[in-house]
Structure 1
């Protein structure tokens, strides 16, 4: 994830500036605002743009605990983001 230096992140992982947009750091509401989630630190975590958008677009969005387990499982299998980011960046 990147927050301030999109260009450096892109260079580190050999991504175009357009490709880096999915990895931009965003504020993820654990309980959606539309369902009564507050804009406070207990309800907001950092998440990449891709994760933030895809979690809430699912037919049956997972609750925060289930989603965290899902992400960790995918990361453990090396299958979370595109293969290009699953490998270690060049030094």
Structure 2
């Protein structure tokens, strides 16, 4: 687990806990991308996907027999999706002061 949450370095700069949220915050502060990725865009894409899941408008993709059907989340998955969405919204709204 430590590998998942340890700070990441871009050049000589340490970026928070290594999460996409920390990378988005870094980009908001500096205007620089982390590892060539705009994590602000990435977080907004995840946010949109979670909203579709929670609203029941996300369809199963791929070649399974359930392709085209809507996803249905159980109570536990709904709770996790809501918590993740809250965390992402806070990250998108938050900017750590420089200095």
TM-score by shorter chain over 0.5 = no
The structure that is strand-richer by fraction is 1
Length-normalised TM-score, structure 1: 0.29
The structure that is helix-richer by fraction is 2
Length-normalised TM-score, structure 2: 0.28
Larger radius of gyration: 2
